[in-house]
A = this chain, B = another copy of it.
Amino acid sequence: MFRGEQLVLDHGFVALEDSCADDLSVVNAARVSFNAHHLEMEVGDDKLIGFLLKNRHGTPFEQNFFRFRVKAPIFVFREWHRHRIGISINEWSARYSELKEEFYIPDAEHIRVQVGKPGQYTYEPCDKTTALFFQAALTTHCEKSFKYYKEAIGMGIAKEQARFFLPVNVYSEMYWSCNARSLMNFLSLRNAPKAMWEIRQYAAQLENIFREVMPVTHQYFIENGRIAP
C-alpha cells in the first residue's frame, strides 16, 4: 500500500508519493522577471497566477515537481505514455518479473456503445444483457489467458514471451513524475469529455491531488477553460 492511495477502477490506484510544489513557486518564478521574490503569497499574487495562465506564460508553472505511483491497465498506460514533455516514467517490467492475475473488468454500467463518426464519437451505455455477457466472457477469457501465461512460464518460456497470452487490460504499475505545466496539459486532454472513460478516472484523481497542492493555480486553470499554458 502506498500512502494516500486513491482507488481507481477495479484494481488500480493513484498515489502522490512526493512533491515539491505550491502556488508560491509560480509567483516567484514569474517575479524573477523583475528580480523580485516573495516569502509567502501576498495580495495580488492570485491574480498574477491568473494572468500568467491566461496569457500562456507557461514556464513559471514548471518550477515544481510531483511524483505519483500509479496502477492501471496496459491500455490506459498506452495512452498515458504518449505524454513526453516534462514527464518521467519507470514501469514494472514484464520482461523481468511475473505480472499478477489482475485484469480490468469494467462495471456493467460502464460497458458502452460507440455512437457517431470517427473523430466525433460519443458513448452510450450498453443494454444490460449484452453488458453482463461481455463481462462474463471477458472474465473467463482473462482467467484462461493468465493460466496459459503461467503454464508457459512453468514450461520455462521466457517471461517476455509468455506474456504474449496476456490481454491489454492486465494491470501494471509505474512511477510518473511531472510538473504543474505538464500535469495541466495531461488534465486538459485526459480529464475531458472526449477522453477515454477509463483514463479519465485516473485523470480525475490526479486533478483532485493537484487541487489540494496548488489550489490557486487549479482555480485559474478551471477559469481559463482548462487550457494548459
Residues of A near any B CB (own CB < 8 A): 2, 18-20, 25, 28-30, 32-35, 37, 51, 56, 59-60, 62-65, 67, 74-75, 78, 81-82, 84-93, 95-97, 103-104, 106, 111-114, 118-119, 121, 123, 126, 130, 133-134, 137-138, 141, 144-145, 148, 151-152, 155-161, 163-169, 173-175, 177, 179, 189, 196
Contact = CB atoms under 8 A, between A and B. Distances in A.
B82 A32 contact: no
A78 B78 contact: yes
A175 B28 contact: yes
Given A96-B34, A130-B156, A159-B114, A89 B167 contact: no
B158 A114 contact: yes
Contact of A97 (B35, B138, B148, B151): B35
Q: Which label, helix, strand, loop or mixed, suits the secondary structure of the A interface? A: mixed
A51 B119 contact: yes
Given A97-B118, A112-B158, A112-B161, 11 more contacts: A29-B175, A33-B97, A56-B189, A59-B90, A63-B90, A95-B121, A113-B157, A114-B159, A141-B148, A166-B168, A168-B168
B133 A155 contact: yes
Given A112-B161, A158-B114, A32 B87 contact: no
Contacts of A95: 121, 196
10 tightest A-B contacts by CB?
Answer: A65-B65, A20-B20, A62-B88, A84-B84, A114-B158, A164-B169, A33-B93, A29-B90, A34-B97, A35-B92
Contacts of A134: 152, 155, 157, 161
A165 B144 CA distance: 11
A96 B118 contact: yes
B93 A34 contact: yes
